[in-house]
């Protein structure tokens, strides 16, 4: 029986056999620590009734482990060199389908709906290509596809921004926008030593679990624009950023008063609820209650 793909010996053997080198422009860093991929697959929440979507299977290290825990794995890989390699390395994993496509071009809603006809739940689990971590995640978030849990590896500094709490240095518009929709948690810290080639920075596995929010903004696009406006210049006060966002000084002061927010606050000290308060007074709408 073959050793796991994620062992250093097997990875080197595959790279040599196919004369492969990691392509930097595709963000290729292969995991060479079998315990880590096993653990990520276990953390994904997949079981035999679940389908898992993976973005960037590489030579199949994580895919192989996902295939052990999930009913089906659908893996999107952009690099045409890897398609034949994956057919070989994953030949024993009959529940894996590799799609040769740029994930950013994929019709995610159609894919998820199709998988849901067979499986109880559809999850995402991946070691993401770091150069497009945020576009990939926002494609998933904005699709509104029914994906209750997303478990992905990314650069530690990006993970820190997604998971940041209010009043910390990493808390920014991205933290607020994502935490509005998901419970966000770092579930594993990953040293750079477990990759081939070794990246410059450490990584983390972040899990996004869909929330049942009790306050939702009626127009999310407007809510997100307002949050971004409040963070526009980090060193400026809430009043200064907000009045620029509204292009109206008096109105800005009046609305901050109405929302019970000190004009001298800075966005990084504002909770999600305070952003929703400001959204409500600005757009004269109560945030809706779900259910």
Binding residues for ligand SAM (CB under 6 A) = 26-31, 55-58, 61-62, 76-79, 102-104, 127, 129, 132
Residue 89 phi/psi, 5-degree rounding, is -65, -30
Three-state SS for 172?
coil
Closest contact distance (angstroms) between CB of 173 and ligand SAM is 24
Give whichever of 87 and 288 is closer to ligand SAM, judged by the CB atom.
87
Closest contact distance (angstroms) between CB of 6 and ligand SAM is 7
Give whichever of 124 and 252 is closer to ligand SAM, judged by the CB atom.
124
Give whichever of 104 and 110 is closer to ligand SAM, judged by the CB atom.
104
Contact 123, 53 (CB under 8 A): yes
Query: How many CB atoms are closer than 10 A to CB 279?
Result: 23
Distant-in-sequence, close-in-space partners of 27: CB < 8 Å, separation ≥ 6? 56, 128, 129, 130, 131, 132
Closest contact distance (angstroms) between CB of 101 and ligand SAM is 7
Three-state SS for 216?
strand
Give whichever of 62 and 145 is closer to ligand SAM, judged by the CB atom.
62
- Report how far apart the first and last C-alpha atoms of the chain are (Å, whole number): 52
Give whichever of 99 and 281 is closer to ligand SAM, judged by the CB atom.
99
Closest contact distance (angstroms) between CB of 196 and ligand SAM is 9
Contact 5, 61 (CB under 8 A): yes
**Please, is 212 exposed, middle or buried when counting C-beta atoms within 10 Å of its C-beta (0-12, 13-18, 19+)?**
exposed
Closest contact distance (angstroms) between CB of 36 and ligand SAM is 9
Separation CA 41–CA 137 (nearest Å): 18
Closest contact distance (angstroms) between CB of 208 and ligand SAM is 18
Residue nearest to ligand SAM (CB): 56
Residue 149 phi/psi, 5-degree rounding, is -140, 130
Beta strands in the chain (DSSP E): 30-31, 50-55, 72-77, 96-100, 121-127, 149-155, 182-190, 195-196, 203-210
Closest contact distance (angstroms) between CB of 61 and ligand SAM is 4
Give whichever of 77 and 277 is closer to ligand SAM, judged by the CB atom.
77
Residue 187 phi/psi, 5-degree rounding, is -105, -15
Closest contact distance (angstroms) between CB of 23 and ligand SAM is 7
Separation CA 36–CA 13 (nearest Å): 20
Give whichever of 29 and 282 is closer to ligand SAM, judged by the CB atom.
29
Give whichever of 116 and 139 is closer to ligand SAM, judged by the CB atom.
139
Secondary structure element (H or E) that encloses residue 245, with its range: helix 238-246
Q: Would you give the DSSP letter of residue 219? A: S
């Amino acid at each position: 029986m073959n050793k796991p793909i994620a062992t250093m010996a097997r990875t080197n053997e595959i790279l040599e056999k196919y004369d492969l080198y990691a392509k930097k422009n595709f963000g290729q860093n292969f995991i060479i620590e079998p315990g880590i991929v096993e653990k990520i697959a276990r953390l994904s929440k997949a079981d035999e009734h679940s389908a898992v979507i993976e973005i960037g299977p590489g030579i199949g290290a994580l895919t192989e482990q996902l295939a052990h825990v999930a009913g089906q794995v659908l893996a999107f890989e952009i690099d045409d060199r890897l398609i034949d390699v994956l057919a070989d390395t994953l030949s024993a994993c009959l529940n894996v389908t590799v799609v040769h496509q740029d994930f950013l071009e994929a019709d995610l809603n159609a894919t998820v709906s199709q998988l849901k006809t067979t499986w109880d739940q559809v999850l995402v689990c991946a070691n993401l290509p770091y150069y497009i971590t945020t576009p990939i995640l926002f494609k998933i978030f904005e699709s509104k596809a029914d994906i209750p849990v997303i478990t992905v590896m990314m650069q530690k500094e990006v993970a820190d921004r997604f998971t940041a709490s209010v009043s910390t240095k990493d808390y920014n518009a991205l933290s607020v926008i994502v935490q509005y929709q998901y419970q966000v948690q770092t579930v594993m810290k990953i040293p750079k030593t477990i990759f081939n080639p070794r990246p410059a920075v450490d990584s983390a596995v972040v899990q996004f679990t869909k929330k049942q929010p009790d306050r939702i903004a009626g127009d999310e696009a407007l809510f997100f624009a307002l949050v971004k406006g409040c963070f526009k210049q980090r060193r400026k006060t809430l009043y200064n950023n907000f009045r620029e966002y509204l292009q109206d000084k008096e109105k800005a002061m009046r609305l901050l008063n109405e929302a019970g927010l000190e004009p001298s606050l800075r966005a990084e000290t504002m909770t999600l609820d305070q952003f929703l308060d400001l959204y409500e007074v600005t757009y004269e709408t109560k945030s809706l209650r779900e259910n």
